[in-house]
Every structure is written in structure tokens, then in C-alpha cells.
Amino acid sequence: MPEISQLTTTVSTKGQVILPKSIRQARHWEAGTRLVVEDGPEGVMLKAAPHFPETRPEQVFGCLSYKGEAKSIADMEAGIMEEASRRHARD
């Protein structure tokens, strides 16, 4: 198990904390990186915020518009086979 070095920092009068450069570099946290702060029983944890909010399939299902008649399963399968054949012929 890697040894965890103990670094210290100070909370400013504005509530700001400076993270040691070695940690910022190791985590690739450049200026402006958004961090999630989690308060737990053992202390405070910082981790990089996700670039996009987590979504579930039902939240985005049907979000792309389509104008025209609905395609049948057979039409969709034929389109897939046609594209696969086209791509295979290229190689």
C-alpha cells in the first residue's frame, strides 16, 4: 500500500484553502477545476466534479427529433446491414 504523506494547509479568513502543488499536479487539477466537497464522519473529501450531470436513459430517451414515418424493425435491420456492408467493402 502506498505511504500517505501528511501535508498541512491553513484556512484563510475567507474560508479558502490552498491545496499543495504536489497534490494539484498529481490530480491534474488546474486553476478553475470544479471540486465536489463531501463531508463525512472521517473528514472532508474533495474530488473533481463531473463535466456533465449524471443522466439516466429515461431522461434522454426520445430527445432527438425525427420527422417522417416511423421505421419498422425490418427497415432498421436492413439499414444496419447496408451500412455494415458499405463499411466492410471499404476495408
**Considering only CA atoms, which of 18, 27, 26, 30 is closest in space to residue 47?**
27
- pLDDT tens per residue across span 25-81: 999 999 999 999 999 999 999 999 998 888 888 888 877 887 888 889 999 999 999
Q: Within a domain: residue 28?
A: no
Residue 49 located in a structural domain:
no
| CB 70, CB 51: distance < 8 Å | no
Q: Is residue 31 part of a domain?
A: no
Whether 11 is in a domain gets the answer no
Residue 2 has pLDDT above 80, yes or no: no
Residue with cell 474533495: 46
Q: In b/e form, how buried is each residue of 17-49, taking b as 16+ CB within 10 angstroms?
A: eeeeeeeeeeeeeeeeeeeeeeeeeeeeeeeee
What is the number of structural domains in the chain?
1
**Residue 75 within any structural domain of the chain:** yes
Helix (H) or strand (E) holding 80: helix 73-90
Phi and psi of 48, rounded to 5°? -60, 135
Asked if residue 10 belongs to a domain, the reply is: no
Under the banding of pLDDT at 50, 70 and 90, the label for residue 1 is: very low
Cell numbers given for 88: 466492410
